[in-house]
Amino acid sequence: MMSRGATRVIRSVVGPPRCFSTAAVRTIGTDSATAKISNGTAGFFPLNPGKASERAAVTWIRFPVMGARNASTVALDAKEQKEEEKVGTGSAGGVAGGTGGNDEKAIVSYWGISPGKVTKEDGTEWRWSCFRPWETYKANVEIDLKKHHVPVTFLDKVAFWTVKSLRYPTDLFFQRRYGCRAMMLETVAAVPGMVGGMLLHCKSIRRFEHSGGWIKALLEEAENERMHLMTFMEVAKPRWYERALVFAVQGVFFNAYFLGYLVSPKFAHRVTGYLEEEAIHSYTEFLKELDAGRIENVPAPAIAVDYWQLPPEATLRDVVVIVRADEAHHRDVNHFASDIHYQGHELKEAPAPLGYH
């Protein structure tokens, strides 16, 4: 039998019995709800078995030190309970369904980040999440399309004939399917700007120096080319083997261009300049097919109307004209970047043509 002295010692360590008090809460539903708070739990217990709507919320709070466990009551009003039922409890980043029996799901995040509602100038809701109204622009279609850099040095000639050699298998594969040809062209054209911007970014933080705006300029070029691709995806639906070809071409071209830029940025920019010249030629042929009626001049995709601020009645021909002008601007930027290197300077020494479309 345990002595009285031992009993007192045990009680002094374990503490007094757990106690709690109750507060009556009126709830709307009859389902039980639970909640978790700091180092404790909260639950509902019916005060009156005959009235399921009358409950008491009990919260246990555990202290980090050994001693008495205290209990307090929490009274939740109807509004808070509705919010709990709507959002639900769970880990951060979970997905909770809405009320009303619909299947729509809202993303619930612990971090409190929610997408802002964006509207157009006329007050209507902005439909695109991949770009915003302040990123749209009116293209300058008056740019000279006939400019050409005549290859003089050995590296220029290598760059020129490398691009020319890539044109023949493209002509053979796509022939006059210019919609699919444009789609494939943009998957390649979007790579140089991203590679150049990435390497300049790494160089800038490695050397603790500014880039002269060239990081942003090259990334703008990559994003612009990607928007070309998103536009032509609405016009030409790629077949499975064309998608497979994109995987292969992108894998080879990305790594080849990455190594080429590491070895000689002036060579890499010259290659991109000649690629843009070929793109201008391809879109000119595309326009000839449209004007001849061999390709239907369908209405412009909605994404193109918003991105280039086109009128609602714009057609595919208007889109091709604008994309060709964009390629001409990219031609100028990359030939200019190559010339900077040829003259013995670095890109940071010449202000980048930001927003040059």
Q: Is residue 67 part of a domain?
A: no
Of 140, 151, 137, 141, residue with least CA distance to 273? 151
Assigned token pair, 305: 């109307």
Please tell me the total count of domains within the chain: 1
pLDDT, residue 104, reads 60
**What is the C-alpha to C-alpha distance for residues 166 and 37, in angstroms, rounded to an integer?**
64
CA 229 and chain centroid, separation: 15
**What is the C-alpha to C-alpha distance for residues 184 and 128, in angstroms, rounded to an integer?**
23
Q: The CATH number of the domain where 332 resides is what?
A: 1.20.1260.140
Q: Is residue 280 part of a domain?
A: yes
Which helix H or strand E contains 71, and what residues bound it? strand 70-73
Q: Is residue 343 part of a domain?
A: yes
* Residue 102 neighbours by CB under 8 Å, 6+ apart: none
Q: How far apart are the first and last CA of the chain?
A: 93
Q: What is the mean pLDDT of the chain?
A: 77
Evaluate if residue 340 carries a pLDDT over 50: yes
Q: Is residue 277 part of a domain?
A: yes
pLDDT, residue 272, reads 97
Q: Is residue 94 part of a domain?
A: no
Q: Using one digit for the tens of pLDDT, what is the confidence trace for 93-123?
A: 443 334 444 456 767 778 878 777 888 877 7
Evaluate if residue 217 carries a pLDDT over 80: yes
* 119: three-class secondary structure by DSSP: strand
Range list of H helices, 129-177: 154-174
pLDDT, residue 129, reads 84
Residues forming beta bridges with residue 51, ordered by sequence position: 48
Mean pLDDT for 14-43 is 44
Q: Using one digit for the tens of pLDDT, what is the confidence trace for 203-212?
A: 999 999 999 9
Phi/psi class of residue 47: alpha, beta or left (left: φ > 0; alpha: ψ in -120 to 50)?
alpha
253: confidence class by pLDDT, cuts 50, 70, 90 = very high
Residues forming beta bridges with residue 229, ordered by sequence position: none
Identify whether the C-beta of residue 297 lies closer than 8 Å to the C-beta of residue 315.
Answer: yes
**What is the C-alpha to C-alpha distance for residues 231 and 305, in angstroms, rounded to an integer?**
10
Of 231, 141, 139, 216, residue with least CA distance to 186? 231
pLDDT, residue 22, reads 44
Of 184, 156, 158, 157, residue with least CA distance to 170? 184
> What number of other Cβ atoms are within 10 A of residue 4's Cβ?
7
What's the domain range around 336?
158-349
Q: Which residue has the higher pLDDT, 193 or 42?
A: 193
* Residue 279 neighbours by CB under 8 Å, 6+ apart: 185, 189, 324, 327
Mean pLDDT for 183-202 is 93
Of 164, 162, 181, 185, residue with least CA distance to 173? 181
pLDDT, residue 300, reads 95
16: confidence class by pLDDT, cuts 50, 70, 90 = low
